[in-house]
A and B are shown apart, each in its own frame.
Chain A
Amino acid sequence: MKYACLIYDDESTGPTDPTSPEFAEMIAGYMAFGEKYESVIQGGEALDSVSTSTCVKVRDGKMTTTDGPFAETKEQLGGFYIIEADDLDTACQIASEIPGAYTGQVEVRPVPNYG
């Protein structure tokens, strides 16, 4: 089965300066995860901060854009992986090794196959 691992974390506490050692450490953690699970990771990206986000909606044929996010939450979606796993337990076990799981949390959601 295919699962999306959505990584939520508090943006205000994580390292933001790409030149800092903390940032390098975080990246190293993700690199290690990526290498270990290379065979099951089917995709994934880090996302820029929610302050850069824009929400688009169309109502009555008219498009409007607003600045996101639409809900004030403590933790923001900061990135995701798409992985292949036999079942939910396996997916959760893999998700538990994503560095974001240690500081924030990872939502594991099945990607349905409509084929």
Chain B
Amino acid sequence: MDVNTAIVEVVRTEWPRLMAALVRDLGDLGRAEDAAQEAIEVALANWPTDGIPDRPGAWILTVARRRAIDKLRRDQNRLQKSELLARLEQRTTPETELDFDSPESLLGDEQLQLIFACCHPSLNTESQTALTLRCITGLSTREIARAFLTPEPTMAQRLVRAKRKIESAGIPLRVPPDSDLLDRLAVVHGVIYLLFTEGHTRSESDLLTGVDLCDEAIRLGRLLTRLVNDSSETFGLAALMLLSHARRAARTDDAGDLVLLEDQDRTRWDHAMIAEGQALLARALRFADPGPYQLQAAINALHAEAARAGDTDWRQIALLYSRLLRHQPTPVVQLNHAVAVAMTDGPEAGLALLDGLAEPLAGYRYFDSTQADLLRRAGRTEEAATAYERALQHCDNAAEQRFLTRRLESVSHPSPDP
């Protein structure tokens, strides 16, 4: 790792705690963000020559507070601000600097408060995701804009509006009371998982953005497991993302073409990530309250545990999908359930479960490609070809298009069975 990469990583690791400390000190998201950004720029300018300080978090926080003080002094025209100034100046004494490195100063509550504010249900999804990336994972506005394929000014405006709403609508910076905690946590999980699925779709298409939303989502998921320790789904979500992401390198071949799970080179899976996911899933399951994220994580864990595709415990996977259907009785989950059933009871059994899904999943390319694949395996090649053609019509991902075209050719001009 070169020094610049190391610096960026340090900065990104320290960012949520830095923001939490600054929001606590300054009482304002926008002001905190400005101060943090300025301090990071000073770090990026100085550390390549001076080296990374022993206590990088405290270093950045000190600079950020000084910047905030300077700004407040220039702008000191209200009583409120002078009070703030006095409080801030107190915080820049050496003793409190040391605080930032003590275990008690993880600022867990402050970080959580910030996360709950960014994912407040009164903000729309676009604002929630953008704000969470900016305030918690520390991506720059430009990076967030790239990740969402949005022009930078549009993203900048979205962030400004979201921050303004937090301020003017009085969205509180606090952890919700117990009565609301689970609901609000579910919103946070939803925002993180949305970022992950968004990144998942992107990483399989042309990745030119330099920002991987999957990595950001995983960063958030891991952070949340450190801040919340009594929610099984928080662990389940992190486990799900890790177990799924661990297969990323094997998902495409050297030509960038899609490789199906059963054909993947399992040595290319990230086994450290799988182990981390398994450990988190084990922690989640101790709560004996398996929610949708845990069930999906468990399904992914079963795939990860099979040394060869043929060893996959499809019966258990089918069972987990039927449990998942109770939480999420959606056509997409039904589709996945059908796939698992087809693996244990044969393609015709799977096809039977697809009945009635054609309409709700019309235009969903995985429906057509799944149906095509089951038809192919059932030896119904003509119907399979028609289904592959339909799948191709709905596919805008280059790697998947090549895959479907190859499959279509194989059923249209069948070669002798290998």
Residues of A within 8 A of B (CB): 1, 3, 85-92, 110, 112
Assess whether A87 is in contact with B168, with CB atoms less than 8 Å apart.
no
Tell yes or no: B45 within 8 A of A by CB. Answer: no
Distance of A89 Cα from B180 Cα, bound (Å): 10
Please encode chain B, from 164 to 175, with 1 for each CB lying within 8 Å of some chain A CB and 0 for all others.
000011111010
Distance of A115 Cα from B150 Cα, bound (Å): 38
Assess whether B176 is in contact with A89, with CB atoms less than 8 Å apart.
yes
Distance of A112 Cα from B172 Cα, bound (Å): 16
Q: Which residues of A contact B122 (CB under 8 A)?
A: 88, 92
Output the nearest chain B residue to A2 by Cβ-Cβ distance. Answer: B170
Beyond A1-B170, A86-B172, 7 additional contacts (C-beta under 8 Å) are A85-B170, A87-B170, A87-B171, A88-B122, A89-B171, A89-B172, A112-B168
Of all A-B residue pairs in the complex, the 5 with the closest CB atoms, nearest first, are: A87-B172, A1-B170, A87-B170, A88-B170, A88-B171
Interface class of chain B by DSSP: loop
**Interface bracket on B:** 10 to 19
Output the nearest chain B residue to A110 by Cβ-Cβ distance. Answer: B169
Output the nearest chain A residue to B173 by Cβ-Cβ distance. Answer: A87
Distance of A88 Cα from B120 Cα, bound (Å): 10
Residues of chain B from 172 to 198 with CB closer than 8 A to chain A in the complex: 172, 174, 176, 180
Distance of A3 Cα from B170 Cα, bound (Å): 10
Q: Which residues of B contact A1 (CB under 8 A)?
A: 170
Assess whether B169 is in contact with A88, with CB atoms less than 8 Å apart.
yes
Interface class of chain A by DSSP: mixed
Q: In the complex, what's the smallest C-beta–C-beta distance from A93 to chain B, in angstroms?
A: 9
Distance of A92 Cα from B180 Cα, bound (Å): 12
Q: What are 26 residue pairs bridging A and B, where the CB atoms are less than 8 Å apart in the complex? A: A1-B170, A3-B170, A85-B170, A86-B170, A86-B172, A87-B170, A87-B171, A87-B172, A87-B174, A88-B120, A88-B122, A88-B169, A88-B170, A88-B171, A88-B172, A89-B171, A89-B172, A89-B176, A89-B180, A90-B172, A91-B170, A92-B122, A110-B168, A110-B169, A110-B170, A112-B168
Distance of A88 Cα from B170 Cα, bound (Å): 5
Q: Which residues of A contact B170 (CB under 8 A)?
A: 1, 3, 85-88, 91, 110
Q: Which residues of B contact A110 (CB under 8 A)?
A: 168-170
Q: In the complex, what's the smallest C-beta–C-beta distance from B289 to chain A, in angstroms?
A: 26
Distance of A88 Cα from B169 Cα, bound (Å): 6
Q: Which residues of B contact A86 (CB under 8 A)?
A: 170, 172
Distance of A61 Cα from B171 Cα, bound (Å): 41
Q: Which residues of B contact A112 (CB under 8 A)?
A: 168
Q: In the complex, what's the smallest C-beta–C-beta distance from A114 to chain B, in angstroms?
A: 12
Output the nearest chain A residue to B176 by Cβ-Cβ distance. Answer: A89
Distance of A67 Cα from B170 Cα, bound (Å): 36
Distance of A62 Cα from B168 Cα, bound (Å): 35
Q: In the complex, what's the smallest C-beta–C-beta distance from A5 to chain B, in angstroms?
A: 13
Q: Which residues of B contact A3 (CB under 8 A)?
A: 170
Distance of A17 Cα from B170 Cα, bound (Å): 39
Among the interface residues B169, B171, B174, B176, which one has the most CB atoms of the partner chain A within 10 A? B169
Q: Which residues of A contact B172 (CB under 8 A)?
A: 86-90
Q: In the complex, what's the smallest C-beta–C-beta distance from A106 to chain B, in angstroms?
A: 13
Among the interface residues A89, A92, A112, which one has the most CB atoms of the partner chain B within 10 A? A89
